[in-house]
Amino acid sequence: MGDNNSINKVPPGFRFHPTDEELVVHFLQRKAALLPCHPDVIPDLHLYPYDPWELDGKALGEGKQWYYYSRRSENRNTRNGYWKAMGMEESVVNRSSSRRVGIKKYLVFFIGEAEEGGGGGVKTDWIMYEYRLSDSDSSSGTSRSSKRRGHNSKIDYSKWVICRVYERRCSTSDEEDGGMELSCLDEVFLSLDDDDEISNCH
C-alpha cells in the first residue's frame, strides 16, 4: 500500500479532490491500521529531501496540488530551504459522529536556512497542510496494526501523516485552487501575508 508506482495507477477520468475528513478517515486511518485503501493512489514519500517544486512525478498530483504519505518528523529541512510551522492547527471532525478524528497543521516553505529561535530565509507561496490522527485514533491504530505486524515490529504506523502541498496563487477561485475545501481557519491563514500577522493571531 502506498507504493510510489501508485501515482501511475489513477483510473482514466479520475479526479482526486478529497475533503479533510476523507483524507483522515478513508486514507490515513486505514494506513495506520494496515488496511487496504481503494483506490490505492497516494504514495509513500520521505518528504524532507525534496523542495516543493520537485514533488511533481513523485507525489500524487491533482491539478496544482500534491498528496503523499510521510513520516512525522521535526526535521523539515530540504535541499534549498525548510518548512516552517505557523503554529496554527485545526481539528478534523467526522461529520456523522461529530468526533474529532484528526488534526490539520499549517506550514509555509522558506528558501534558505532557518535561524535559531525562528526566522531566516525567504518566505514563498508554497503551502503545506499536514494531517495526522488525533491521539485516540493513533493509539487504536497502533494497537490494530501491531496485531497484524506482530509485536516485534519497530515501525509505528500511527506516526504517518498525509501531506497536501500547493502553491498559493493570487486568485482564490475554485478553478485556480483546484476546488480545494477551505475552512474558516484556512481563509484566515491564507489572508496572512507575513510572520507578524501570523504571530498576532495567537
> 107-154, pLDDT tens digit by residue?
999 999 888 777 789 999 999 999 999 876 554 544 444 444 444 444
pLDDT at 190 over 60: no
For residue 127, tell me if it sits in a domain: yes
For residue 59, tell me if it sits in a domain: yes
Q: How confident is the model at residue 41 (pLDDT cuts 50, 70, 90)?
A: confident
Average pLDDT over residues 155-181: 68
Domain that holds residue 120: 20-137+156-169
From edge to edge, which strands make up the β-sheet containing 65-71? 60-62, 65-71, 160-167, 122-133, 99-111, 81-94
Query: Residue 92 has what pLDDT?
Result: 96
Can you give the CATH number for the domain in which 54 is found?
A: 2.170.150.80
Query: Residue 134 has what pLDDT?
Result: 85
For residue 2, tell me if it sits in a domain: no
pLDDT at 176 over 50: no
For residue 4, tell me if it sits in a domain: no
Query: Residue 8 has what pLDDT?
Result: 47
For residue 124, tell me if it sits in a domain: yes
- Rounded CA-CA distance 63/166 in Å is 9
Task: Check residues 186 and 51 and name the one with the higher pLDDT.
Answer: 51
> 83-98, pLDDT tens digit by residue?
999 988 999 999 999 9
- Is residue 182 within 8 A of residue 175, CB to CB? The reply is no
- Rounded CA-CA distance 73/75 in Å is 5
- Rounded CA-CA distance 129/65 in Å is 11
For residue 184, tell me if it sits in a domain: no
Average pLDDT over residues 38-50: 82
C-alpha cell at 3: 507504493
- Rounded CA-CA distance 93/149 in Å is 29
For residue 129, tell me if it sits in a domain: yes
Average pLDDT of the chain to the nearest whole number: 77
Residue 61: count of CB within 10 angstroms of its CB: 17
For residue 196, tell me if it sits in a domain: no
Average pLDDT over residues 160-177: 73
Whether the model clears a pTM of 0.85, i.e. scores above it, the answer is no
Q: How many domains does the structure of the chain reveal? A: 1
Average pLDDT over residues 12-34: 89
pLDDT at 182 over 70: no
